[in-house]
Amino acid sequence: MPALLGVSVCLGLSGSALAAETVQGITASPYMQSFSLAPGSNYSGSVDISNPGNNEYDFSVSATPYSVTGEDYEQQFTARPDLVDASKWFTFPVAKYHLKPAQHVPVQFTVHVPSDIAGGGYYAVVFAQADALPGPGVRGQKRVGVVTYMTVSGDVHKTGRVASFNVPFIQTQPPLHTEIRLQNGGNVHFDSTESVQVQDLFGNVKAQLEAQHIIMPKSIRRVTLDWDKSPSFGLYRVTGTVKYLDHTEKLPTRWTLMLSANAFLIIAGVLVAMGLFAFLTRRGRGNVRRG
């Protein structure tokens, strides 16, 4: 799920500088916001900005566009010609704040929805960026953002499907990898809960994997659920479900063989030895009959 966005800045420091370094940090809460709006309406909201570091600083707030590209949802914070720039709907009564160590402050904002906007999903990020501290020995996180998911009422279309469920039949090393591709064909985002269960040949549940994601409109999102502690050898049955848009879809059953390089060499060696033994046995029986 798109969540807390941060940019960390670290400077290389000598041992003496490290001993006297100051830490600049900035965090935001909640990590995301989702609300419904009507065309022509106004919405007042806030995000809480905190200073977990040991030095005071000023920070400024702003809004930027938000979108994703590709099936791995690479985040974009620049305007796109094919999308409405919803960051222009945001105004801030105060754009500059001061934070002391261990202090937090609510940042107020207002969203002004155009009266002629079409129904659907619109997205922006509220960013808080700390001013750089002067001098050596400074490290820390300088910027955080809260993604806002806005649904404007009107001609809203909600539709989705599981585009594919892929589990490689042979996997040569842990983790056991599964991949679900979720498609949103509508004009507004929706929440998805993905569950995958791994069983051995005897039906024993070896792993239960689950995750939650937001699926953006007109996109396909690739979701990976991996069993990190899977053994290097074994045959497993993989099943699962995806819950979205008040619907639960059952995933097709997949089988996967975990077969590491060492396990493959051992099995290959055993098969070669068995074949050689069978060959020598048949040859020995033939020599006895001829004798």
Cβ atoms 35, 150 nearer than 8 A = yes
Cβ atoms 256, 176 nearer than 8 A = yes
Sequence-separated (6 or more) residues with CB below 8 Å from residue 67? 75, 76, 80, 83, 123, 216
Task: Say if residue 175 is preceded by a cis peptide, omega within 30 of 0.
Answer: yes
Global confidence as pTM: 0.82
Per residue of the chain (291 residues), give pLDDT as tens: 443 343 333 322 233 333 346 677 899 999 999 999 999 999 999 999 999 988 899 999 999 999 999 999 999 999 999 999 999 999 999 999 999 999 999 999 999 999 999 999 999 999 999 987 665 555 666 899 999 999 999 999 999 999 999 999 999 999 999 999 999 999 999 999 999 999 999 999 999 999 999 999 999 999 999 999 999 899 999 999 999 999 999 999 999 999 976 655 565 556 666 776 676 777 666 555 555
The letter for the amino acid at 106 is P
What token pair was written down for 43?
């919405």
Domains located in the chain, CATH noted: 5-152 (2.60.40.10), 160-261 (2.60.40.10)
> Distance between CA 109 and CA 92 in Å, rounded?
5
Cα distances from 229 to residues 79, 92, 171, 209, 236, in angstroms, run 42, 47, 14, 12, 14
